[in-house]
Amino acid sequence: MINYHKICLEVCELSKTVGRYISEQSAQFSQDKIEHKGQHDYVSFVDREAEAQIVTKLRELIPESGFIAEEGTANNKGDVYNWVVDPLDGTTNFIHGVPVYSVSIALMENEAIVIGVVYEINLGECFYAWKGGKAMLNDHEIKISGMQQLDSALLATGFPYADFSRMDDYLKVFRHFMKNTAGIRRLGSAAADLAYVACGRFEGFYEYGLSPWDVAAGAFIVESAGGRATDFKGEGNYIFGRELIAGSPFIHPEMLSVIQKLFSPLIEK
């Protein structure tokens, strides 16, 4: 059995190393280095090189592990352990020089997340948690917000860049939260959004059209900090189910109620 705490701290150091590489590249990055994976879905050599560095080190930490990685550097499935990797969550921000983007790394043991690390590069903030441990930010324990009323809550969300099939219902939800919360923010990095929920800066986060590498680490950190994470049905299929609600134990049920009401025709599909 692996030492979750020890491995987690090593992943934190790896994230910081890769973060420094990404930060150095940002100073000389130009638009002609952008590639398109799909509609409004961007990638660059920085994403791929960062992922290659991550995969190489993680293979050393747990040689038998497999990978679920955004850029496809490695996608072999492990029998027990699998790393879920987004080397640069917030690529669109990165290529436009907008300073919110993160390294996100999670470890799955069978079907459960046991380690989560999100390193927000621009502020040098490393959020992390491990099975049986606490949620941390740069060596200090963090907790979910104690806010109890949705009306006073600050929420975060994301906007789809390809899947617009749910936009009408999404806008209904967005309109409701605009009117009934303290505000909504869109940072452009789901990993950072979730990390900010974990440390109490946001009371909640919701989004659809997500991939496992967007949410695996951040959602685990939220839960480790005392929060809740579910899909739009209120169930646990948020890593591979492409939708997520995360928040405090007080705010999450209210968000879930609103989303289930306004997304209900699509939830039943």
> For the segment 123-164, what is each residue's pLDDT rounded down to a tens digit?
999 999 999 999 999 999 999 999 999 999 999 999 877 777
Q: How far apart are CA 124 and CA 119, in angstroms?
A: 7
pLDDT score for 41? 45
Angle between helices 45-61 and 4-26 (to 10 degrees): 160
What CATH code is assigned to 4-141? Answer: 3.30.540.10
Q: How far apart are CA 153 and CA 167, in angstroms?
A: 23
How much is the average pLDDT of 212-237?
Answer: 97
pLDDT score for 145? 97
Give pLDDT tens digits for 229-254.
999 999 999 999 999 999 999 999 99
What's the whole-number average pLDDT of the chain? 90
Give which of 160, 184, 187 is closest to 258, Cα–Cα: 184
* Local confidence band at 72 (pLDDT 50, 70, 90 cut-offs): low
Site of tokens 């986060």: 205
Residue ranges of the alpha helices (H) in the chain? 4-26, 45-61, 91-96, 167-180, 190-198, 212-224, 251-262, 264-267
pLDDT of 267 > 70? The answer is no
How much is the average pLDDT of 87-103?
Answer: 92
Q: How many Cβ atoms from other residues are within 10 Å of residue 211's Cβ?
A: 16
Domains 4-141 and 150-267 share a fold: no
Q: Is residue 245 a contact partner of residue 259, using CB atoms and an 8 Å limit? A: yes
* Extents of the domains making up the chain: 4-141, 150-267
What CATH code is assigned to 150-267? Answer: 3.40.190.80
Most confident of 32-41, 66-75, 239-248: 239-248
pLDDT score for 71? 62
